[in-house]
Structure 1
Amino acid sequence: MSTLNQTSGRRKMRNRSKVRVASAGRPRLSIYRSSKYIYAQIIDDTAGKTVAQIGSKAVKTGTKTDSAAAVGKAVAEAAIAAGVKQVVFDRGQYKYHGRVKALADAAREAGLDF
């Protein structure tokens, strides 16, 4: 029987491999979700550099979902200011639901193209 940590690690690597195949030179929008905060960063894997990053600690709003949407909007604005308009969404081990979906939708509305 596998533990939760092993299962989530396998899920993360499976999703990451799909992202690498789909990326084709595009930077990726990688997220990390803790129980209280959510963080997003745009990573250029070819150059090995982080283009933009923001967390919900910097953007104080009402609920956790509202904070995730604010993070999505802020990271999209920072990426566009850095000259990045097209990214690949790397949700890691998280389901595309709730805060993850709110972040992605807000980033799309702010001008990022997934």
Structure 2
Amino acid sequence: MATKKEALTRRAARVRRQLKKVANGRPRLSVHRSSKNIYVQVIDDAEGRTLAAASTLDADIRGKLKTGADVAAAEAVGKLIAERATKAGVTEVVFDRGAFIYHGRVKALADAAREGGLTF
């Protein structure tokens, strides 16, 4: 039986493989959540470069949050990544949820990024 880490890696690879089929050159909005924080990056896979990044550890929003591990924190990070991505010239992305189900913090981040101006 696979370990938990191997299962997460396999699940994330499966999601990423499906995204590459439908990406059509759009950058990937990649989400990672831990028990204490949430991180997000806009990645251009063609160049292998991060275009924009945000997390609950950023000084812009860290002091305003009660904790980095709740839905409110995910919404704040979603708005911040949308702002930074549009500043970098990115408006269309594909959403890479990684190994995490589209629920709770991941869904809140995606909804906030959409409200901030990203389309996916």
Task: Please give the TM-score of this superposition, normalised by the length of structure 2.
Answer: 0.90
The one-character-per-residue Cα deviations of 1:37-58 (angstroms, maximum 9, x if unpaired) are: 0000100111221110011112
SS in 2 for 1:93: coil
Task: After the TM superposition, list the runs of 4 or more consecutive aligned residues in structure 1 that deviate by more than 3 angstroms.
Answer: none
Deviation at 1:6, TM superposition (A): 2.1
Residue aligning to 1:26: 26
Task: Please give the TM-score of this superposition, normalised by the length of structure 1.
Answer: 0.95
| Mapped pair 1:106 → 2:108 | no
Residue aligning to 1:68: 74
SS in 1 for 2:9: helix
Unpaired segments ≥5 residues, structure 1: none
- Distance of 2:105 and 2:87 partners within structure 1: 24
Aligned residue pair count: 114
- Distance of 1:9 and 1:48 partners within structure 2: 19
Q: How many percent of aligned residue pairs carry the same amino acid?
A: 53
SS in 1 for 2:29: strand
